[in-house]
Structure 1
Amino acid sequence: MIDLLPSPSHVGAYRLSGTLDGADYDRCIADIEGRLRLHERIGIYCDMTGFTGLTPEALAKDLRYFFAKFGEYDRFARGAIVTDKRWLGEISEFAGRFFPNTEIRAFEPDEHDAALAWAAVVEPLR
């Protein structure tokens, strides 16, 4: 399940719990695309402390969206991942190395306010 969390209009904030299905993913992408229509760049905040996995349909949608956004990754300024799973934080930060204009950082569950504040610092494209 994905819960859309209150946030500034230039930050997509989500709480992921359980196993995400295709409908969850559709809601999240619709929210992200709405924010991208309003702003040149956005930040993303994901609280993944209750996340357990993806259905095959959600994974397929994730991959399609990833490839559809090729050439636009610099529109995602920052990604804050809140997790109690060390491996998930490390994978997220490692993946960030492949997106030179996007910063990805993992936060502990008790740092959710700091994570949202960090994701909200969005510098314009140069």
Structure 2
Amino acid sequence: MRNAALTLGIIAGVIGMIVGFFSYGYTEAIERFGEIEGLAQQVENVDLIRAASILGPLLAIAGGAMARAQAAWGGALLLLSTMAMYYAFGFNVFTMFPIAFAGTAGLLALMAGKPDEPKAHF
């Protein structure tokens, strides 16, 4: 379960980085070049989008990397990443995989016992 959490967390972070690059770039382009009537408007909370574009994938990759050694902390970071990406970007065709992968990885990491024990954290 720890290896699955590691793999899913890293994948969620990489896909989340792609979403983050485009989201941050979109807010920067609209700020720099202005809105296009009926086509491209600035988002309501630019700082939230920019912060989540960086922190969401970062937390997913860090949580996935920690999942083998510190499963509880890694799982908490993965679930925090899930919440950040969902709150900032919503659930849509571009965010469904990073959100689902990070959430699943977080649950797997929290349910994983020590490698030599079949018992979970709870």
TM-score (norm 2): 0.30
Larger proportion of helix: 2
TM-score (norm 1): 0.29
Larger proportion of strand: 1
Find the structure with the greater CA-based Rg: 2
Higher relative contact order (CA 8 A, sep 6+): 2
